[in-house]
């Protein structure tokens, strides 16, 4: 028999009684984030249960798919409103009646901390748990580095609290974070558990589990700080775990909370929250208006990118036909993927069944006629307008009328490519980044005539691939490469004025970029950008400054790593760059030939000029409507171009500058760059 007493209609935490168990139901859609209202509702419900003499135990459960998916990040820009999560957990621990957490869906961050503050945990079989705070520039602040110490021990706690990973509930049950996995409906199982098995068990009152030696913890600390590239939240997590071993429980919790608050109020956490909300906004804006079938994919071009695109789709469970003008190349790409999977299975990184399932979805076609049943056909052939146009003409005669044609061009004019089609509205740009099966972003290019159906197909494909779709208009390089080209050009201009490649790369890597621009050029191949520059020779203003050292290197056959030399040397097939005095000589000769007096550059000069050039180009893109939102630019740069996430992109960087001083520096940049430089209004980022 169930006795039900409803909470007030405005409450986000419902209250009812099932037998001798009070059930507190959190109902805060869409994902049951912890908010001040939720926390207040939990305290109110707990007080009510304690005063009810017929109640023996309490169950806390989520109304929807999730228990508590984490904290409401909108609360983190100022003082966290009362009651805080530690206050709620302290009340749960002080309760004389046992409290059972019924976990479901994504139980993350503060949601998992709340669960660990309860006396027991039972979970739906599909639950995932995790502590993602480090990915937001913080550490857990309500016991996430403390209560697991009593179950996992120090080394495993540190690794769990700093991985940011979502772990399956079976892992949590095996290591003791979860007491039971429900069989049947979760609420019924949780109520039965609370009635028959629940007892008070306050984790914070237990001793630290001794599952590792001090050497284990030291090794874990070194790995964590190294993997986190020395970012402050990783060092703080190490300190919090050590404090949990050395201090009384209450003092260790206070230390953890103080570190959480310090980091939460810092610029890095603010930058990462900016990216979080930008991601949410872009995901919402770039949903297909009508989801389209993406069941059968055709990929034309079996090179590195085409094979990578094919791999991305088969690993997402979609059927792919890979075609190349050389049929043996397509067959070879399939065999290379088989070898890759065999190696992954041998190393224990992949299950044999998963490998075979993926390979069953991939086939090599002999010609484009094999693509006659595909929903989406993506061309990934040589970056040449005539080559791509010819292919598109042939494809339109083969693929079904409902199918969408996509081009994986990095630079070429999608509107010009569309003129090859009788129905240009069928064409959409789908710019994949390398490696295609792992890159987090997909740049979706809407041409002037791209239909809504074609755009929806590309957006549906992004959803299938679990990639963030960033929609761009048509221009040279779209969003990402246009900004990157402006950045690279300024770095090459700085060489003419007195810098050298190694100094530029070092300054930008120390700032936080994954790689410097000259190392990137060597890795990707200098000939790719060279071809694009040559294609624009006829339309380039002769008055513009044109850095020419890269062209000289290409004329010498120095295309980067693949030829053993580019901006750097790569002796004996190594991928480690070695400074080359020949490049320095070429740079100095270029300066002399152009009458440019060389001057010293500081690292700060280099970083400021590089970021100013990127910001200016991004502001132009936004003004032209090529990019939809400033947040899209920041997501593109941080997810696909190695821009440091702890800065948050160009928007947070601009907002950290004095506006008048920034405008002055931009004017100086325009003056030194000369003709062709268009100054943008940077106010779009403020």
Phi-psi region of 353 (alpha: psi -120 to 50; beta: other; left: phi over 0): alpha
Taking the C-alpha atoms of residue 89 and residue 119, their distance in angstroms, rounded to an integer, is: 11
- Sheet of 167-168, strands arranged across: 106-108, 128-130, 167-168
**What six digits make up the tokens of 559?**
């295309």
Q: Where are the alpha helices (DSSP H) in 247-376?
A: 249-264, 267-285, 304-315, 327-346, 352-360
With CA atoms as reference, report the closest residue to 68 among 115, 107, 42: 107
Taking the C-alpha atoms of residue 494 and residue 348, their distance in angstroms, rounded to an integer, is: 47
The predicted pLDDT at position 534 comes to 84
Q: Where are the alpha helices (DSSP H) in 397-442?
A: 414-418
Taking the C-alpha atoms of residue 127 and residue 641, their distance in angstroms, rounded to an integer, is: 33
The predicted pLDDT at position 210 comes to 82
Report the Cα 645 to chain-centroid distance in Å.
Answer: 9
With CA atoms as reference, report the closest residue to 85 among 107, 109, 104: 109
The residues pairing with 461 across neighbouring beta strands, listed in sequence order, are: none
The predicted pLDDT at position 532 comes to 82
Taking the C-alpha atoms of residue 637 and residue 634, their distance in angstroms, rounded to an integer, is: 5
Block mean pLDDT (10 aa), the chain, length 686: 39 95 96 95 97 97 94 92 97 98 97 98 98 97 97 95 96 97 97 96 94 78 92 97 96 98 96 97 97 96 96 97 96 96 95 95 96 96 95 96 96 97 98 96 98 98 98 96 96 98 97 96 92 84 94 96 96 92 97 96 98 98 97 97 97 96 97 96 94
Locate tokens 């098995």: which residue?
197
**φ/ψ of residue 296, rounded to 5:** -130, 120
Taking the C-alpha atoms of residue 218 and residue 223, their distance in angstroms, rounded to an integer, is: 9
Q: Is the peptide bond before 390 cis (omega within 30 degrees of 0)?
A: no
Residue pair 34/44 in contact by the 8 Å Cβ criterion: no
Q: Where are the alpha helices (DSSP H) in 480-626?
A: 480-497, 501-511, 517-524, 526-535, 549-555, 581-593, 603-624
The predicted pLDDT at position 260 comes to 97
Residue pair 443/465 in contact by the 8 Å Cβ criterion: no
Provide the whole-model pTM. Answer: 0.92
**Which residues, in sequence order, are CB contacts of 270 under 8 Å at separation 6+?**
77, 137, 648, 652
Q: Which residues are catalytic?
A: 113, 133
Beta strand residue intervals within 408-451, DSSP E = 427-432, 441-445
**Which residues, in sequence order, are CB contacts of 615 under 8 Å at separation 6+?**
650, 653, 654, 682, 685
With CA atoms as reference, report the closest residue to 568 among 608, 634, 510, 522: 522
The predicted pLDDT at position 214 comes to 64
The predicted pLDDT at position 213 comes to 62
Helix/strand/coil (H, E, C) string of 344-381? Answer: HHHCCCCCHHHHHHHHHCEEECCCHHHHCCCCEEEECC
Report the Cα 618 to chain-centroid distance in Å.
Answer: 20
With CA atoms as reference, report the closest residue to 349 among 340, 338, 362: 340
For strand 362-364 and strand 21-26, is the pairing parallel, antiparallel, or unpaired?
Answer: unpaired
The predicted pLDDT at position 212 comes to 59
With CA atoms as reference, report the closest residue to 483 among 501, 495, 469, 470: 470
Phi-psi region of 43 (alpha: psi -120 to 50; beta: other; left: phi over 0): alpha
Phi-psi region of 432 (alpha: psi -120 to 50; beta: other; left: phi over 0): beta
**Can you say whether the dihedral through the CA atoms of 69, 75, 77, 80 is positive or negative?**
negative
């Amino acid at each position: 028999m169930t006795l039900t007493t409803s909470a007030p209609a405005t409450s986000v935490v419902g209250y009812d009684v099932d037998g001798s168990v009070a059930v507190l139901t959190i109902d805060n859609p869409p994902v049951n984030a912890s908010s001040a209202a939720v926390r207040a509702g939990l305290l109110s419900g707990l007080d009510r249960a304690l005063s009810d003499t017929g109640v023996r135990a309490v169950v806390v459960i989520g109304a929807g798919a999730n228990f508590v998916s984490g904290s409401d990040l909108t609360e983190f820009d100022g003082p966290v409103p009362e009651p805080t999560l530690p206050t709620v957990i302290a009340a749960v621990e002080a309760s004389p009646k046992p409290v059972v957490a019924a976990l479901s869906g994504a139980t993350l961050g503060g949601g998992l901390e709340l669960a660990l503050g309860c006396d027991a945990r039972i979970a739906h079989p599909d639950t995932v748990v995790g502590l993602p705070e480090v990915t937001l520039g913080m550490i857990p602040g309500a016991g996430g580095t403390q209560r697991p110490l009593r179950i996992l021990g120090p080394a495993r706690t540190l690794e769990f609290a700093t991985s940011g990973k979502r772990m399956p509930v079976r892992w949590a049950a095996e290591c003791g974070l979860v007491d039971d996995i429900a069989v049947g409906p979760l609420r019924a199982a949780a109520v039965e558990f609370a009635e028959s098995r629940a007892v008070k068990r306050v984790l914070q009152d237990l001793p630290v589990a001794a599952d590792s030696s001090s050497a284990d913890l030291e090794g874990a600390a070194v790995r964590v700080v190294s993997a986190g590239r020395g970012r402050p939240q990783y060092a703080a997590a190490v300190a919090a775990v050590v404090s949990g071993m050395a201090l009384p429980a209450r003092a260790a919790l206070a230390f953890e909370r103080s570190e959480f608050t310090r980091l939460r109020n810092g610029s890095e956490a603010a930058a990462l929250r900016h990216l979080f909300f930008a991601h949410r906004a872009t995901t919402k804006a770039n949903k297909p208006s009508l989801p389209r079938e993406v069941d059968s994919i055709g990929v034309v071009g079996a090179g590195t990118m085409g094979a990578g695109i094919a791999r991305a789709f088969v690993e997402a469970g979609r059927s792919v036909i890979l075609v190349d003008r050389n049929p043996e190349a397509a067959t070879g790409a399939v065999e290379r993927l088989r070898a890759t999977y065999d190696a992954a299975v041998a190393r224990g990184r992949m299950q044999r069944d998963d490998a075979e399932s993926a390979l069953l979805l991939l086939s090599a076609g002999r010609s484009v006629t094999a693509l006659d049943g595909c929903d989406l056909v993506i061309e990934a052939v040589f970056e040449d307008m005539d080559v791509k146009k010819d292919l598109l003409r042939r494809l339109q005669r083969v693929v079904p009328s409902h199918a969408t044609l996509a081009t994986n061009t990095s630079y070429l004019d999608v509107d010009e490519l569309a003129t090859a089609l009788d129905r240009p509205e069928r064409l959409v740009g789908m710019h994949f980044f390398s490696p295609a099966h792992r890159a987090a972003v997909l740049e979706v290019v809407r041409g002037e005539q791209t239909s809504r159906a074609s755009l929806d197909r590309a957006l549906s494909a992004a959803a299938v691939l679990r990639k963030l779709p960033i929609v761009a208009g048509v221009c040279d390089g779209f969003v990402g490469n246009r900004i990157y080209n402006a950045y690279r050009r300024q770095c090459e201009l700085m060489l003419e004025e007195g810098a050298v490649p190694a100094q530029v790369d070092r300054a930008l890597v120390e700032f936080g970029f994954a790689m410097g621009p000259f190392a990137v050029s060597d890795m990707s191949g200098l000939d790719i950008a060279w071809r694009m520059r040559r294609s624009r020779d006829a339309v380039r203003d002769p008055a513009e400054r044109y850095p020419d050292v890269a062209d000289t290197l290409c004329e010498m056959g120095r295309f980067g790593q693949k030829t053993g030399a580019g901006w750097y040397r790569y002796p004996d097939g190594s991928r480690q760059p070695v400074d080359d005095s020949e490049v320095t000589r070429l740079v100095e000769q270029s300066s002399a030939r152009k009458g440019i007096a060389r001057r010293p550059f500081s690292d700060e000069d280099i970083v400021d000029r590089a970021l100013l050039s990127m910001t200016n180009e991004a502001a132009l893109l936004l003004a032209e409507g090529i990019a939809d939102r400033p947040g899209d630019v920041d997501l593109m740069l941080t997810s696909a171009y190695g821009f440091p996430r702890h800065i948050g992109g160009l928007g947070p960087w601009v907002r950290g500058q004095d506006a008048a001083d920034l405008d002055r520096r931009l004017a100086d940049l325009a003056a030194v760059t000369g003709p062709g430089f268009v100054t943008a209004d940077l106010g779009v980022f403020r």
